[in-house]
Amino acid sequence: MTSSIPPNVIGRRVLCNGDYGTVLFVGSVPPTTGVWLGVEWDNPQRGKHNGSHEGIQYFKCRHLSGGSFIRPNKANFGVDFLSAVREKYGLNEDQEDPESRTETSIVIGRRTVQTIGFDSIKEKQKQLNNMSDISVDECAVSEAGQEEEIKRTCPNIRRINLSKNLLSSWNEVVNIACQLEHLEILNVSKNKMKFPSTSLPSSRAFCNLKVLALNQTGVTWTEVLLCATGWPALEELYLASNEISLLERPIDTLHNLKWLNLSDNQLTDGNQLHLIADLPRLETLILSNNAISSIHFPDAGFGCKTSKFPSLTHLGVKCNRIVEWSVINELDKLQNLHSLDCRNNPLMETDKNMETVKQLLIAKIGQLNFLNKSAIFPEERRGAELDYRKKYGIDWLKAGGNQDPNKNNPSEEFLSAHPRFQILCEKYGVPEDGELKKEQPFSLKNQLLALTFKCPDKPDQKPIEKKLPDSMTVQKVKGLLYRLLKIPGSKLKLSYESSKMKGKEFELDNDLKPLQFYSIENEDCILVRW
C-alpha cells in the first residue's frame, strides 16, 4: 500500500468518505501489520481517539476524539488543478463526445494516417484557453500539477473559486497563481493550509489580484501580513472564521485595501483596532460575531473627529458585546462613517421600544445615512435629533447648560455623555421650557396631543380640532380623516407645521410611523391635501 502514499505526506490534506482531515502520522501501528495513516479530522466526531493506541502516542490532536488511523488506500489525496477543471467542465481529452466524432486523414512521411477526434480535442483545448471564470470548489484539488501546464492551457483565467479542496499549503496556491498573470479574484476558503512563517521571496504571482477570500483557512493575522507583501493591488480581503484574536500594524503593505472582513473571529479588545486604523483606503470593515465591547479613539475629544480610519464609510459590528452608549459616541468621531450595522448587541435592548434605541443612534452619529441595513431619511433624522434635544434638555440645564449663550457652560461629564447636544442646539436652537421632557405618570391624558387639522387648498373647509394619542400612526390618522372628510386615505397627503416654527412644513411620509416619531407636539397643525 505504500506505493499509494505521496511524498511529504505529513501535513497533507485528505478526503475519506466525505470527511476532510490532515495526515499527522505514517507508519506501522503494532500489533497490526502494514502501513497506517494517522489523521486528525476537521470534524472531531469522525475520530475515535487523540492519536494514541494501546498507550502509545503516535500523533497529537487538538480534540480528545479527533483522530483515527486509516489505510492509505482509503485516503483521497486529491488531483491537480487542470484535472479538476477538465473533469468539472467535461473537457477531458479522453472523454470523447460521440456526436462530435470526426475522422480525417493526415500524411506523416510516406504514410497516410487516419485521425479520429482531433477536431474535438482542439475544440476542448480552445475552450480551456478562452476560460476567464473557473469554479472547482469541492473538487479535491491538492496541487498545481506539471510546471507551466496551467499557463499553457488556460492563461486567461481572471477569477477562481478553489474553496473546500485539499490544498495543504499556501505555496501550492502560489504555484497555481504564478501561472495566471491576469488573476483578479481568488477564493481558497475552507482549505486548512500551512502558511509561511517568514517573509516570502519576491513574486509576481498575485500582482493583479484584487479580491482574496481566506475564510476558514486557519490563517493568523501575522501570516496574512507576511503574505500580503505579494498582494500589491489587493482591494478586498475576507478572513472570517479563523480564530484571529490579535492584530498587528501593517508596514508597507495593504495600502490599497478597501474592504476587510474579520467576522466570526475572537477579537475582544477594541484597542486592537488601532493597529489597523491607519489603512489609508479602507472603506468597509466587518467585525460581526466577535466579542468586542468597547471602541475608543483617544486622539479626539468631545465633538471632534479622529484621524483613525480616514476613509471608513461602513462599519459592521453586529453580534458583539457592545452595551455602553459611549461606544456610539466614539463612532461619531469617525470622519466618513455613513453606514453602521450594530444589530444584536446588548445596547439594542437598553430600551423596550426598539424605535427609541434607533432614534438615539441616529441622533448620536450625525453623518449616518444607513443604520442596520435601512436608509435614514432627512425627516427621520430631524425627528430623532429634535427628540434627543428635548429628552436630555433637563439634564443639560442641571449640568450647567443655559439658554443664554453667555451663561451656557455644561459640565464635561454631560458633554462626554452627549457630545452632539451642543451641535443640535446650534442646529435647532436651545430647547425652550415648554419643549423639555419631564417624567410624567402614565395616563391617557398625558399621552394626548391637541392638534388642529387644516386644508390649505380648500379654504371653505373649516379647521378641525382633535385630541389624539402620540402613539397613533399616520395611517390611522388618515382613517380618521376619511370618516370626517369622506376622502380615501390613499389620496390624502399629510404634513405638519410646528407651533414653534411657523411657516415651516414637514411631510408625514411614512404611514406606519406614530405621530411621536415626527416630534409632533401640542398645538401643532396637521395640513391635509388631496
Kindly report, residue by residue over 29-53, the tens digit of the pLDDT.
999 999 999 999 999 999 999 999 9
- Segment 276-294 shows an average pLDDT of 97
Amino acid at 146: Q
| Mean pLDDT, the chain, whole residue set | 89
> What is the pLDDT at residue 437?
56
Looking at residue 86, its pLDDT comes to: 93
Res 353: pLDDT? 82
> What are the structural domains, with CATH classification, of the chain?
12-74 (2.30.30.190), 134-351 (3.80.10.10), 379-428 (no CATH), 448-529 (3.10.20.90)
- Please report which helix (H) or strand (E) contains residue 141, including its range: strand 141-143
3-state SS assignment for residue 236: strand
Buried b (16+ CB within 10 A) or exposed e, 246-267: ebeebeebbebbbbbbbbbbeb
Q: For position 342, what pLDDT does the model report?
A: 97
Give the pLDDT of residue 347. Answer: 94
Q: Which cell goes with 257?
A: 485595501
**pLDDT confidence band for 260 (50 / 70 / 90):** very high
pLDDT, tens digit, 9 for 90 and up, residues 345-354: 999 998 878 8
**Measured distance CA(315)–CA(454) in Å, rounded:** 44
- Which region among 362-366, 393-397, 423-427, 515-519 has the lowest average model confidence (pLDDT)? 515-519
The stretch 311-328 carries a mean pLDDT of 97
**Proportion of the chain above pLDDT 70, given as a percent:** 90
Can you tell me the mean pLDDT for 491-500?
87
Q: Residue 470: its pLDDT value, please?
A: 85
pLDDT bucket at 110, cuts 50 / 70 / 90: very low
What pLDDT, in 10s, does the model give residues 291-308?
999 999 999 998 899 999
Name the residue with cell 489603512: 279
The answer on pLDDT for 445 being more than 80 is no
> How confident is the model over 217-258, as pLDDT tens digits?
999 999 999 999 999 999 999 999 999 999 999 999 999 999
Q: How far apart are CA 41 and CA 73, in angstroms?
A: 17
> How much is the pLDDT for 501?
72
User: Which residue type is seen at 510?
Assistant: N
Peptide bond into 514 cis (omega under 30): no
Which letter does DSSP use for residue 6 in this model? P
Looking at residue 360, its pLDDT comes to 96
**Containing H/E element for 224?**
helix 221-228
Mean pLDDT, residues 360-368: 97
pLDDT above 90 (res 106): no
Q: Residue 433's pLDDT is what? A: 73
For residues 102 and 409, which has the higher predicted lDDT (pLDDT)? 409
Question: What is the per-residue pLDDT for 194?
Answer: 96
Cβ(121)–Cβ(94) below 8 Å: no
pLDDT digits (tens, 9 = 90+) for 89-102: 887 755 544 444 44
The pLDDT of residue 434 is 67
Instruction: Output the pLDDT for position 203.
Output: 82
Q: What percent of the chain has pLDDT over 90?
A: 71
d(CA 100, CA 275): 60
Q: What are phi and psi of 126, to 5 degrees?
A: -65, -40
243: left (phi over 0), alpha (psi -120 to 50) or beta: left
Residue 139 has pLDDT above 70, yes or no: yes
Quote the DSSP letter at residue 459.
T
